[in-house]
């Protein structure tokens, strides 16, 4: 393909060299004449393993050139990748001036073209930006035709060339099949799963990946600091943790749902924070986890209050389905807050039989919900008839069938995410969807 790449920085120059090596004809574009001059000489403007050799090779083969002229680059290519910087503004927001400048120039250049042109935003940008780019270009193209998509970059500096060819996945944010196919064709030699979605979802995914990576690093470092304070080598701990690919390093616990709870997670996070405090180790990430969990329950209460209804049926009381363990269950916490606000509550949980509760479990629920007998029912008809709002806390098949059968007169607050996002015939809401 004939491709122009806007921005010859860390992402743009690697992308230019790799796409040229894969057999495309590439033109790099930058406002910085010095960078353009270096690339034209086959020299790398950045330090990156293997890049100098690769640039020299593709420049000699005449598969890569560089220019400061947007018009020339757009006229000679079918697809433009926008890889310009999107740095932090002083208030922490993303500065999008470079991205929007390029889009304006692309729009004007496309206006002078007869053939359609595809624009792919590759810079990391907040949700809503690609849509804005589409408007900026549309306002300027006149009779020109263009297609647009968002395709975030996942390379890491230092191993960028390798990462380019073995990306974790290729994300394409677009509703335009031509833009989608342009990206698929460009990466036909990249061995990774291609996932196509809306602009905003794709934009959010890139931020989520980086936040998750930062959370993992902070988590490992906080564990390391606490471990050292009790005479344990943090590296030894994390070396074992990462060998569990079933629960620790996996897709487990990675989907939005209701708050965490039960007899282990909250207690053990608290213990770890306590150990850190006793040893004078600051662990802001660990400390904020319980607060974040609590905010999730608060938001659930708000959502129920926003319905304006008073008769609430809670489906699921234990900390997850298939157990009668009520200790530190977020559903018990939710029930307690709702009762405190004067809601008329009934609870259904097929695993919870008050008479069978014992030990710490029984003591816990007696302290939190002393009138459980009055609230609990094992009668499905009764729970459906009672609730103007049905609040689902467990991802249980039984609850899904029950909710599926309800009409739109009932309000459903799905905290577990058991219904598909395309529920249109129901009064349906959740905290994360």
Residues that bind ligand NAD (CB under 6 A): 6-12, 29-32, 35, 83-86, 98, 101-102, 123-124, 153, 155, 157
The CB-of-102 to ligand NAD minimum distance in angstroms stands at 5
Whichever of 121 and 326 has its CB closer to ligand NAD, that residue is 121
Beta bridge partners of residue 133, listed in sequence order:
none
Residue (of 93, 88, 65) closest to 5 by Cα position: 65
Whichever of 102 and 186 has its CB closer to ligand NAD, that residue is 102
Return phi, psi of residue 195, to 5°: -125, 125
What is the distance between the alpha carbons of residues 383 and 334, in angstroms, rounded to a whole number?
17
Whichever of 46 and 111 has its CB closer to ligand NAD, that residue is 46
For 109, 219, 251, the CA distances from 226, given in Å and listed in that order, are: 57, 11, 26
The CB-of-12 to ligand NAD minimum distance in angstroms stands at 6
The CB-of-101 to ligand NAD minimum distance in angstroms stands at 4
Whichever of 23 and 158 has its CB closer to ligand NAD, that residue is 158
CB 14 within 8 A of CB 47: no
- The length of the chain is 433
The CB-of-20 to ligand NAD minimum distance in angstroms stands at 17
Catalytic residue check, 264: yes
**Residue 77 buriedness (CB in 10 A; 0-12 / 13-18 / 19+):** buried
The CB-of-11 to ligand NAD minimum distance in angstroms stands at 4
Residue nearest to ligand NAD (CB): 9
Whichever of 6 and 146 has its CB closer to ligand NAD, that residue is 6
For 22, 128, 158, 184, 344, the CA distances from 16, given in Å and listed in that order, are: 10, 26, 16, 16, 63
Burial code (b: 16+ CB inside 10 Å, e: under 16) for 181-217 equals ebbeebbeebeeeeebbebbebbbbbeebeeeeeeee
What is the distance between the alpha carbons of residues 298 and 301, in angstroms, rounded to a whole number?
5
- Just list the catalytic residues: 264
């Amino acid at each position: 393909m004939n491709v122009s790449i806007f921005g010859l920085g860390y992402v743009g120059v690697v992308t230019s060299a790799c796409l040229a090596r894969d057999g495309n004809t590439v033109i790099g574009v930058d406002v910085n004449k010095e960078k353009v001059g270096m690339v034209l000489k086959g020299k790398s403007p950045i330090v990156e393993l293997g890049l100098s050799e690769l640039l020299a090779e593709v420049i000699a083969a005449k598969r890569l050139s560089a220019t400061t002229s947007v018009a020339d680059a757009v006229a000679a290519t079918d697809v433009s990748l926008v890889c310009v910087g999107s740095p932090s503004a002083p208030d922490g927001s993303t500065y999008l001036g470079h991205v929007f400048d390029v889009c304006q120039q692309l729009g004007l250049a496309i206006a002078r073209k007869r053939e359609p042109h595809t624009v792919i935003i590759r810079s990391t940008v907040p949700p809503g930006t690609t849509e804005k780019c589409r408007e900026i270009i549309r306002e300027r193209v006149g009779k020109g035709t263009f297609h647009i998509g968002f395709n975030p970059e996942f390379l890491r500096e230092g191993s960028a060339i390798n990462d380019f060819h073995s990306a974790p996945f290729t994300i394409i944010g677009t509703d335009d099949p031509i833009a989608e196919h342009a990206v698929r064709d460009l990466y036909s030699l990249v061995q990774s799963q291609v996932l196509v979605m809306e602009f905003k979802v794709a934009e959010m995914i890139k931020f989520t990946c980086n936040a998750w990576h930062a959370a993992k690093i902070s988590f490992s470092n906080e564990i390391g600091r606490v471990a050292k304070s009790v005479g344990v080598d943090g590296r030894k701990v994390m070396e074992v943790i990462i060998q569990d690919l079933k629960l620790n390093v996996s897709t487990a616990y990675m989907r939005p749902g209701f708050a965490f709870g039960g007899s282990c997670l909250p207690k053990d996070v608290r213990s770890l924070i306590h150990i850190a405090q006793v040893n004078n180790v600051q662990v802001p990430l660990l400390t904020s986890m319980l607060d974040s969990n609590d905010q999730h329950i608060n938001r659930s209460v708000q959502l129920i209050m926003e319905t304006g209804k008073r008769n609430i049926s809670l489906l699921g009381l234990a900390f997850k389905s298939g157990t009668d363990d009520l200790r530190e269950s977020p559903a018990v916490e939710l029930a307690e807050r709702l009762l405190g606000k004067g809601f008329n509550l009934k609870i259904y949980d097929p695993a919870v039989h008050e008479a069978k509760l014992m030990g710490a479990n029984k003591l816990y629920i007696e302290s939190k919900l002393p009138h459980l007998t009055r609230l609990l029912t094992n009668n499905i008809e009764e729970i459906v008839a009672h609730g103007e709002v049905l609040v689902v806390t467990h991802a249980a098949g039984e609850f899904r069938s029950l909710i599926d059968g309800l009409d739109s007169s009932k309000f459903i607050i799905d905290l577990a995410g058991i219904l598909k996002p395309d529920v249109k015939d129901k009064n349906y809401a959740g905290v994360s969807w």
